[in-house]
A and B are shown apart, each in its own frame.
Chain A
Amino acid sequence: MSEVAAPARAPSAASSADNILVAENISRRFGAFLAVNDVSLSVRRGSIHALIGPNGAGKTTCFNLLTKALPLTSGRISFNGTDISALRSANVARLGLVRSFQISATFPNLTLLENVRVALQATYGKAFHFWRSIAAVKDLNARANELLDQVGLAGSRDLMASDLSYGKKRALEIATTLALEPDLLLLDEPTAGMGHEDIEPITRLIRKVAEGRTVLLVEHNLSVVSTLCDRVTVLQHGQIIADGSYDTVSRDPLVRTAYMGEEDE
């Protein structure tokens, strides 16, 4: 299972052109509490990058900041060379930085096909056409089916999303995000709450969707991290305590202390 064209690892010396996402000194305060504290992070184009850390470390908050679902308290983020610090979430998504959520974010009362079609509509330019029949967007069905097929859900296209099992909801969510053809995909705990039988397929799926794009994922399952990721950033108490390859990071004494007792999760 060797990496296909594993990128050369030279984290600190990398020129900014090689980094699709650069966050500089970003922080987020909730009242008196600093959930994300002066984090600087760069994500190399084409890599699969993991953001790990104990519960409450600030990983989801980081994702919220990077996608501008939450405003920054301070710091600066640039994506593909564009400063996105002041943009709103919808505009960030349109630039090609799209996320999934830790708590599954499908549209429960829409069918799978509609779920994906809604996402396809985002860039299709007919989303405000209230005078047209829904048939106007039926030409998106072929693409929607393709995306569902990619995640192995083509057979259930007419089911309501609420009827799916947990694992399949995650897969649907990935199909939905792929509809935007993101350059950078942020996945928040894609395997959380999954049984063993679901983890292997979702890992394969992530590897597949990572072809031709960059993936940053939060993941608790360290064996998934070690098989998938080129680079790992470790967060604790809102701060980065280690950054590097899985092997380097996992030998780091700070990380070992932070993960004490969580090793075999």
Chain B
Amino acid sequence: MNKTLLIAAVALVAALIAPVYIYPVLLMTILCFAIFASSFNLLLGYAGLLSFGHAMFFGTSAYITGYILKTTSISLELALLGGMLVSTIMAALVGLLAIRRAGIQFAMITLAFSQFVYFVLLQASFTGGENGMQGIPRNALFGLIDVKDSFHFYYVVLAVSALALFLFYRIVNSPFGEILRAIKDKEPRVESLGMKPEQFKYLAFVLSASLAGLAGALKATVFQFATLTDASWPISGEVILMTLLGGLGTLSGPMFGAAIVVILNDELAGLGEWALIAQGVILLVVIVFFRRGFVGEIAALLAKWKKPAKSEAEVTA
């Protein structure tokens, strides 16, 4: 418990001074995707649900937030909430149909919905179609604080991210989170103990979509544009990569995964198509050799090193 707090505190201090040394937009991108990957982690790592269409929540929210900011003078935080709210409602509807399906069927339904959402965003007039939505203004925060400068805006994004990640932490360490873990372990047993697993999975799905929506909304304000890519299959795939790379079902793994992938994309940007191939190779290596992901493997090593007598089962906790 206290160790988690200490690590969080160190990370926070590092994050506070980071923009002095590192390009703030890159840092903000990492933060957005850390939230996005955490939302995916909540779903797959804790509820055991694999979504192939998580980008629909990310992308839709990006467009909605962008649209609110472009067409109104509503303050920034309300625009973010607006995007988040729409993703949440969308998940509440999609979840009704998807949640009773398990495994690959669930994945395919989410994929189908996300393709549908992609198509709607492509056709709708407010999105700017193939060109995307450009020139999204950063309205003042609370109607007061000017955040047009990226260096200043970084601290807003950092605060929102910290809040979102705390929310994620709270969810997985809540009474509800405990039931989710039980469902992931042995769903029929949860039912036989008088609880309805699909209700818990439904809530997890909606919560996950809210967080994904927040990530997308933030992203739109960071880059000041929203494009179809945000709602596309490659983004849905990338968030899977981030989560697995960092360590599924670990608290900080997907955040690291997000950072690694964002930085890698940045470094490999010059390679064009080759960037995708490099991503594929990395995913393959992780799946074959480091199945617990970056953070998972380190935790396993530490645990082994600390108490060599204990069995493996402890490590995955």
Contacts and interface: CB of A to CB of B under 8 A. Distances in A.
Chains A and B come from one and the same complex: yes
Contact of B192 (A69, A114, A132, A179): A69
A110 B194 contact: no
A180 B189 contact: no
Interface in A114-149: 114-115, 117-119, 121-124, 126-134, 136-137
B100 interface: no
Contact of B175 (A98, A108, A129, A163): A129
A162 B316 CA distance: 12
A101 B317 CA distance: 25
Interface stretch (B70-78, B88-96, B180-188, B301-309): B180-188
Contacts of B22: none
A107 B189 contact: yes
B193 A122 contact: yes
A139 to B, nearest CB: 11
Nearest to A111: B317
B27 interface: no
A127 B313 contact: no
B185 A109 contact: yes
Nearest to B181: A110
Given A108-B313, A110-B181, A160-B313, A134 B175 contact: yes
A137 B195 CA distance: 16
A108 B185 contact: yes
B170 interface: yes
A122 B190 CA distance: 9
B24 interface: no
A94 interface: yes
Interface string B49-85: 0000000000000000000000000000000000000
Contacts of A122: 193-195
Interface string B143-184: 000000000000000000000000000110111111101101
B314 interface: yes
A132 B178 CA distance: 12
B178 A105 contact: no
B207 interface: yes
A60 interface: no
Contacts of B203: 128, 130
A110 B182 contact: yes
A176 interface: yes
A118 B317 contact: no
Contacts of A128: 175-176, 199-200, 203
A129 to B, nearest CB: 5
A90 B188 contact: no
Contacts of A134: 173-175, 177-178
A177 B193 CA distance: 7
Interface in B177-231: 177-179, 181-182, 184-186, 188-196, 199-200, 203, 207
B176 A130 contact: yes
A13 B175 CA distance: 48
A99 interface: yes
A108 B191 CA distance: 16
A137 B313 contact: no
A218 to B, nearest CB: 15
A114 B200 contact: no
B177 A130 contact: yes
A20 interface: no
Given A98-B194, A130-B170, A107 B175 contact: no
B125 interface: no
B22 to A, nearest CB: 33
A80 B86 CA distance: 46
Contacts of A179: 193
Given A93-B194, A110-B185, A180-B194, 4 more contacts: A122-B195, A133-B174, A134-B174, A162-B313
5 contacts: A69-B188, A99-B192, A128-B176, A132-B174, A180-B193
